[in-house]
């Protein structure tokens, strides 16, 4: 009998099939394949998918191709975490601590003239950062009119005492989280800063040029106006916000020491910025919103120039 030699084969005479191995771990045999690229994957490389499993590379590629979630006004979903609101509150609290420290035992925290002595008094820090048009004559060397424009921004982070701070921070906590979730972090921050700036510009325009003003309420009133505009744009009921806004306006006009110009200025500018954010056309929303915010900023800076010329001319 003749003996024959050769390669082992299957029943049809072809080469024996090899066991598939994981493309990322060649030493591991597997019969599971990625449902997207069809490459074999071991249990360590399996990622659950809607149907079957996918490999890590296909999962990463799929995440890159998925557009991030956006709010109705183009903002990022990260706004639901309220990071900007929390940061603004923390910044205001930090500045209050620094203000108290700068006073060296004075009435920075309480003991001032407002609310039966519950409000605090001025400190070196509030004196540096308050909205002040001009230092009283005969030495008008300080104030916005002398070039200290930074006061229009710093004033919205300063407060006369802890009670003043708490009232504004409570309102910011309530309004800010809602608006940030709807608008997204960047748009909410732009709204807050532009409304606060608008209120401080109104103080510069219409208040006694020798009186100082501080407080986040310029921005807070902008948030009141914005939440009303946003709710109307979304077709939701605004009956809950109107009484709160009316009560705050009554306080504005009846309580001594409150800056009427600052509150109304923040209210108007906040409403305008909210209209820009809420009614921007969908196709070119971001460009329209950015342009609208820039126009408001330019208009506010123009008003500052006009007022400065009137005071120094």
113 is catalytic: no
217 is catalytic: yes
Please give the Cα distance from 63 to 219 (Å, whole number): 37
Assess contact for 187 and 289: CB atoms under 8 A: yes
How long is the chain?
313
Beta bridge partners, 213, equal 131
β-strand 47-48 against 53-54: which pairing, if any? antiparallel
Assess contact for 125 and 98: CB atoms under 8 A: yes
Question: Tokens 């106006």 belong to which residue?
Answer: 225
Question: How distant is the alpha carbon of residue 82 from its chain centre?
Answer: 8
Please give the Cα distance from 277 to 202 (Å, whole number): 22
Distances in Å between the alpha carbon of 195 and those of 164, 179, 189, 271?
A: 19, 14, 10, 8
Nearest CA among 296, 154, 171, 265 for reference residue 212: 154
Which is the catalytic residue, given 99, 213, 217, 259? Answer: 217
Indicate which residues carry an active-site annotation. Answer: 217, 263
């Amino acid at each position: 009998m003749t003996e024959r030699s050769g390669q082992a084969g299957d029943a049809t005479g072809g080469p024996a099939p090899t066991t598939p191995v994981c493309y990322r771990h060649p030493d591991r045999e597997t019969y599971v394949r990625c449902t997207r690229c069809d490459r074999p994957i071991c249990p360590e490389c399996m990622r659950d998918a809607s149907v079957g499993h996918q490999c890590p590379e296909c999962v990463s590629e799929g995440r890159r191709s998925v557009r991030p979630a956006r709010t109705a006004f183009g903002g990022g979903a990260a706004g639901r975490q309220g990071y900007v609101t929390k940061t603004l509150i923390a910044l205001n609290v930090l500045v209050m601590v620094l203000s108290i420290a700068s006073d060296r035992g004075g009435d920075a925290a309480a003991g001032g003239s407002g609310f039966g002595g519950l409000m605090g008094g001025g400190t070196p820090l509030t004196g540096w950062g308050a909205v002040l048009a001009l230092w009283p004559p005969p030495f008008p060397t300080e104030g916005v009119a002398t070039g200290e424009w930074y006061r229009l921004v710093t004033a919205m982070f300063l407060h006369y005492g802890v009670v003043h701070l708490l009232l504004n921070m409570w309102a910011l906590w309530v309004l800010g989280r809602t608006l940030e979730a709807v608008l997204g972090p960047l748009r909410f921050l732009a709204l807050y800063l532009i409304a606060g700036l608008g209120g401080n510009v109104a103080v510069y325009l219409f208040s006694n040029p020798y009186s100082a003003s501080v407080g986040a309420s310029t921005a807070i009133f902008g948030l009141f106006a914005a939440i009303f505009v946003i709710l109307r744009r979304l077709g939701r009921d605004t009956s809950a916000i109107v009484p709160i806004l009316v009560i705050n306006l009554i306080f504005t006009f009846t309580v001594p020491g409150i800056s009427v110009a600052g509150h109304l200025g923040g209210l108007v500018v906040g409403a305008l910025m909210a209209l820009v954010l809420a009614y921007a056309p969908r196709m070119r929303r971001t460009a329209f919103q950015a342009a609208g915010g820039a126009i408001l900023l330019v208009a506010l800076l123009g008003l500052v120039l006009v007022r400065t010329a009137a005071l120094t001319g």
